[in-house]
Amino acid sequence: MLEIDNLHARVGDTPILKGLTLTLRPGEVAAIMGPNGSGKSTLSYVLSGRPGYEVTEGTVRFDGQDLLAMEADERARAGVFLAFQYPVEVPGVSNKVFLKAAVNACRKARGQGELDAYEFLKLFEDKRKLVGMGKELASREVNSGFSGGEKKRNEILQMAMLDPKLAILDETDSGLDIDALKAVSEGVNALRDGERAMLVITHYQRLLDHIVPDTVHVLVDGRIARTGGRELALELEERGYDWLKAEAAA
């Protein structure tokens, strides 16, 4: 469902991705690991269409469509979801209002009817419970004054509401204590349904104790340096990234 072929991208004059190739099947949960500066976050922004990230070469096909030709909002409506490493605050806008607008924009684009207030609230309650969020977060302003853990859980709630085909989790574990990490992971696992594909971007293997991936890719200097199963993550935990960096440089 996602085919990335020889992807090159840069930010300003700095090339970051240098020929990245990767495929993802429906339902597959793939971890993208790698040292700092290897291009993990860049990959998530390029896939989600953030302005300022310029693709210089290569293709990305999503569900048979040319993903790179689409605007950020079109990609989102087509089913690409990014759980942000640093979720953004939208002051004065409640979580509910924000999500209702987003859900209905996506539903409309997918040929489903828009939800009325009642249907929306029902869906919201279902998903809120599914990802283990407190009731009070609904009426709070989007990410305003949220703790780090609350922000990350709020991302997972949004993911549950928007029901994407592809979810990209960008360093979802960063800044979380162990309890929050567990809670967030449980939310993510609840959304694994054999259909939804996930790209789990992380620097540390500890997240993968909770969200167990089908595949592990290691990104070094803008390319996939190695692909393996769950055991690859454990190997990295033990040996670090340097040996792969050395291999890639050779």
Partner 1 sequence: MSSSAETIQDFAGRRYQAGFITDIESDTVAPGLSEDVVRLISAKKGEPEWLLDWRLRAYRHWLTLTPPTWAHVHHPPIDYQDISYYSAPKQKQKLESLDEVDPELLRTYEKLGIPLLEQKMLAGVAVDAVFDSVSVATTFKKKLGEMGVIFSSFSEAVKEHGELLRKYLGTVVPYTDNYYATLNSAVFSDGSFVFVPKGVRCPMELSTYFRINEARTGQFERTLIVAEEGAYVSYLEGCTAPQRDENQLHAAVVELVALDDAEIKYSTVQNWYPGDEEGKGGIYNFVTKRGACRGDRSKISWTQVETGSAITWKYPSCILQGDDSVGEFYSVALSNHRQQADTGTKMIHLGKRTSSTIVSKGISAGHGVQTYRGLVRIAKSAEGARNYTQCDSLLLGDRCKADTVPYIEVQNATARLEHEATTSKISDDQLFYCMQRGLAAEDAVNLIVNGFCKRVFRELPMEFAVEAQKLLEVSLEGAVG
Query: Which residues make up the interface to partner 1 (CB under 8 A)?
Result: 48-52, 71-73, 75-77, 81-82, 84, 87-93, 97-99, 101-103, 105-106, 109, 141, 158, 162
Shortest Å, Cβ 205 to partner 1: 27
How far apart are CB 1 and partner 1 at their closest, in Å?
19
Q: Which residues contact 61 (CB under 8 A, 6 or more apart)?
A: 2, 3, 5, 67
For residue 206 the two structure tokens come to 């500890």
33 versus 169: smaller Cβ distance to partner 1: 169
90 versus 234: smaller Cβ distance to partner 1: 90
CA–CA separation, 196 and 39 (whole Å): 24
CB neighbour list of residue 36: distance below 8 Å, 6 or more residues apart? 203
* DSSP annotation string for 23-72: EE-TT-EEEEE--TTSSHHHHHHHHHT-TTEEEEEEEEEETTEEGGGS-H
CB of residue 97 to partner 1, shortest distance in Å: 8
Closest CB 196 distance from partner 1, rounded Å: 16
User: What are the DSSP E strand ranges found in 73-165?
Assistant: 80-83, 90-94, 141-142
Nearer of residues 51 and 113 to partner 1, judged by Cβ = 51
CB of 240 to partner 1, least distance (A): 32
Whose Cβ is closer to partner 1: residue 172's or residue 205's? 172
Identity of the residue, 154 or 185, whose beta carbon is nearer to partner 1 in the bound complex: 154
